[in-house]
Structure 1
Amino acid sequence: MFLQMMKKAILLAAVLMLTVSCGEYQDLLKSDDSGKKYSYAEQLYNEAQENGDKRKYRKALRLFEQIVPQYRGKPQGEKLSFLFANTYYELGDYYLSSYEFERFQQSYPNSEKVEEAAYKKARSFYELSPRYDLDQTDTNKAVTELQAYLNTFPEGEYVDRANEMATELRIKLEKKEFEIAKQYHLTGEARAGNYRAAITSFTNFLANNPGSPFRESAQYYRFDSAYRLAINSFRSLMEERLNEALEFYETYKKYYPEGEYMAPMEASAEDIKSRLQNF
């Protein structure tokens, strides 16, 4: 019985403290005292950093939003601007965090926090990067920002992770380019001109992405597009196109003699050679 009464008393005290705290916070939001707002916002931010409490980040953010303009150009402005940007970052509001980190870099280029700001700005765009099949504006921006970080801080604290993210995003961009070319190939039977578009797209892909994990598949689909285009061509165009397909086969064979697509390509190559004997 006594234990239950103690638990209720502790719970009641906690509720009362929370109520008083909320009331003080609401009063502070309405206050004109920038100094108190700064102190309390920093306290909330530090507590949130310790335990990852998103509610405290959000409460700190409301105060930061009110006072940041008042401190720009003042001694406290540098620290406050970084905390403001990082609060958006911790809350996952990456559009605003990237904007505020950019602003911080421009305003305080000699700050000891400028490297972290550059990295987190780039990472904000990385977090915004969508699936490969969607618009890749943010992905391209992330790659640009990550490369800028790596160029500016080649021995920086976040170099390894920045390289990993940049590689991941480049592969995503390569996959999008590859899949667009592959779509031309897959629709070529319905529209013969798409085979020619596929050949051009895969050729460009191979030229632009020398280290891509999709290179072998691109070599195969380029050959297969050329083969299918050739065998469905008018006779006046067929010989030239068959020879072009055969060249693509030889290129694949040179780089991937034991490749995944070797068997079906050899069968197609034999058919090409048989057809060329008729010319």
Structure 2
Amino acid sequence: MRLPLFILLCLTVLLSSCSQYQQVLRKDDMGKKYAFADSLYRIGKYRKGLKLMEQLVPAYRGKPQGEKLMFIYANTYYNLEDYYLSGYQFERFTQAYPQSDSVEIAAFKSAKSFYQLSPRYSLDQKDTDKGLEKLQEFINQYPNSDKRTEANTLVAELRNKLEKKEYEVAKQYLRVEDYKAAIGAFDNFITDNPGSIYRKDAFYGRFVAAYKLAINSIPVLVQERLREAKVYYNNFMKYYKDSDLAPEALENYQDIESRIEPLETEPTI
């Protein structure tokens, strides 16, 4: 079976290109390697280009061509979604070429690389903290950058993730009936995150934890803890009396009142 001429031509070009790449990769001609790596980068052949760049970077460090090479080297890792290395290499670029025309975009891509490494909220958030730090550094250093709006959006996203983790930890204490720990965790959350989208739920969670702690306490502690739960109810209603959680809070509050009234009217001996 004869292959169509077009397919034969494509195969010929492909084999020729592969052969040329292998020749350049094996030889010591850094000029040819540089030109070939640049051409591969331009057409999006990042993995092939990376092998050449790994040979080129040590040879061109400190030379005029090094600036462009170091940028496309970092950006190759970024395009390959190897964000650990792109973050590191863009950071190196900003340190090595602080006067470069590309330093601002390199700083942003370095910060965004660390953002990309942030895991889901339930996992360790060390990379999230790192991403926040780097994005904030970028915003502070380039307040007039056209990337500032995007950077602020990324910061808000990472902060929300940290808030969600902290809120879920407090909620977990409530779920496992460690009510004292839940009250403390919700307290800390409310103090540390004044503008959080989880603030309403934290106020409510703190009240519920205090209510359940009271009704599950030994008799000698019940009255005092019911009073404390009433304080948390009032705090919740101060800010969220019209919220969807207010009816449930009211039910618990009415139960508190029904329990506390007999205790407060008992005659003293």
Matched, 1:260 2:230: no
**Alignment-derived partner of residue 196 in structure 2:** 212
Mapped partners of 1:259, 1:157: distance in 2: 38
Aligned match of 2:74: 85
Q: Which residue of 1 aligns with 2:233?
A: 249
Structure 1, unaligned stretches of length 5 or more? 49-55, 189-193
Identity between Structure 1 and Structure 2 (%): 51
Which residue, out of 152, 164, 168, partners 2:153? 164
User: Could you say which residue in structure 2 is the equivalent of 1:138?
Assistant: 127
Q: Given the alignment, which residue of 114, 117, 125 partners 1:125?
A: 114
- CA shift at 1:236, angstroms? 2.1
Q: Deviations over 1:150-180 (max 9, x none)?
A: 1111110211111111111111111111011
- Which amino acid is the alignment partner of residue 104 of structure 1? F
Residue 238 of structure 1 aligns with an amino acid whose one-letter code is V
Written as runs of structure 1 = structure 2, the 5 A alignment for 1:1-279 is: 8-48=4-44, 56-188=45-177, 194-277=178-261, 278-279=263-264
Letter in 1 for 2:24: L
SS at 2:8 equivalent:
helix
Match of 2:267 in 1: none
1: CA distance, partners of 2:101 / 2:186: 46
What is the number of equivalent residue pairs in this alignment? 263
- Cα separation, 2, equivalents of 1:129 and 1:40: 34
> What amino acid does structure 1 have at the position aligned with 2:120?
R
Structure 1 distance, partners of 2:58, 2:225, is 66
Quote how far apart the aligned CAs of 1:273 are. Answer: 2.1
For residue 276 of structure 1, report the CA deviation from its aligned partner: 2.3
How many Å separate the matches in 2 of 1:237 and 1:264? Answer: 24
SS class of match (2:4) = helix
- Measured against aligned partners, the alpha-carbon deviations of 1:59-98 in whole angstroms (never above 9, x if no partner) come to 1111101110111111111111011000000111111101
Q: Which amino acid aligns with 1:29?
A: L
Question: Residues 124-173 of structure 1: CA distance to partner in whole angstroms, max 9, x if unpaired?
Answer: 11111111111111111111111111111111021111111111111111
Q: Structure 1 residue 201: deviation in Å?
A: 0.2
Cα distance in 1 for residues equivalent to 2:184 and 2:232? 12
Gap runs ≥5 in structure 2: 265-269
2:133 & 2:71 partners in 1: Cα distance?
A: 22
